[in-house]
Amino acid sequence: MNTSSIIEAKELVKKFGGQKAVDGVSLSVQKGEVIVILGPSGSGKSTLLRCLNGLERFDSGEVVIDGEKMDHGHKAIHQVRKKIGMVFQQFNLFPHLNVLKNLTLAQEVVLNRDKDRAERKASELLSKVGLTDKKDSFPAQLSGGEQQRVAIARALSLNPSIMMFDEPTSALDPEMIGEVLGVMKELAKEGMTMLVVTHEIGFAREVADRIVFMDEGKIVEKGSADQILNRPKNQRTREFLSNVL
């Protein structure tokens, strides 16, 4: 195993009722790297991401995050999870809390930050995603793009070492996609380690250090954005790209 990797997955297998959703995937991610995971629906991209952040219990294999082994039998799995910020397709903001509280709750509960410090951090992040004026709003009062930007700010509030995005723009109206991708590009520029499941080929081309193409639970091909998008070696990758480009 590569000891300088921030994420190290080895021979990961996840089954749903006998069907392998992730089939022997090994992946190593370096600190500061932006990896985009592409693939058709049902190829195991989201499941892979969920295995890597401990939301899904994998059947075999090994995951090491920033030197700590992911172990579902161990009570401190939440300690590993807090190193990873996760952004979901459906935002999953807490509807009963306003935007500010969405950003401060985990800081207070998980990191034991005092209220003032948590609110300072929240304000800083809201300013970063351009939503300072929305801190008192409830999620239902925001547009999809705004909700997703709040979700990104919330994930960043714990100072994670890694950010994972599970199709963050799939549930958005086309004109709102840009604002979310803009925030993600900023993060990438700042050197955040990112794993992004998306169908946004333009984003992948512009930001990804590497692209991983998955099909039927396996990594079919991986390489630089230029190589995968312009000179794919695998037939399945070529078919996929010809359909989406």
Partner 1 sequence: MLDIINWLFLQIKILFNILKFLGPAIPMTIKITILSFALSLFLGLFVGIARISKRRFFSFLSKIYVDLIRGVPLLVQIFFIYFGLGKILNLDRFLAGVLAVGICYSAYLAEIFRAGIQAIPRGQFEAALSLGMTPYQTLRHIILPQSFRIVIPPVANEFIASLKDSSLVSIIGLRELTRAGREYYSTYFVDFHTWLLVGLIYLVMTLSLSRVVSWTEKKFKVHGYGVM
Q: With respect to partner 1, which residue has the nearer C-beta, 52 or 211?
A: 52
Q: With respect to partner 1, which residue has the nearer C-beta, 91 or 203?
A: 91
Q: With respect to partner 1, which residue has the nearer C-beta, 121 or 154?
A: 154
| Residue 121 binds to partner 1 (criterion: CB under 8 A) | no
Both tokens of 183, joined, read: 């925030």
Q: Residue 217's CB: how many other CB atoms inside 10 A?
A: 23
Least distance (Å) between residue 182 CB and partner 1: 22
Least distance (Å) between residue 230 CB and partner 1: 34
| Residue 51 binds to partner 1 (criterion: CB under 8 A) | no
Chain residues 135-194 in contact with partner 1, contact rule CB under 8 A: 138-141, 154-155, 158
By the 8 A CB rule, do 216 and 23 touch?
A: yes
Q: What is the b/e burial string over 164-194, where b = at least 16 CB atoms within 10 angstroms of the residue's CB?
A: bbbbbbeebeeebbebbbebbeebbeeebbb
- In Å, what is the CA distance from 194 to each residue of 57, 80, 86? 21, 16, 10
Q: With respect to partner 1, which residue has the nearer C-beta, 198 or 237?
A: 198
Task: For tokens 């509960």, name the residue.
Answer: 109
Q: With respect to partner 1, which residue has the nearer C-beta, 136 or 239?
A: 136
Chain residues 82-111 in contact with partner 1, contact rule CB under 8 A: 82, 84-86, 88, 90, 92-96, 105-106, 109-110
Partnered with residue 68 across adjacent β-strands are 65
Listing DSSP states for 161-201 in one string gives: SEEEEESTTTTS-HHHHHHHHHHHHHHHHTT-EEEEE---H
Least distance (Å) between residue 50 CB and partner 1: 8
> For binding to partner 1 (CB under 8 A), which residues are involved?
53-55, 78-79, 81-82, 84-86, 88, 90, 92-96, 105-106, 109-110, 138-141, 154-155, 158
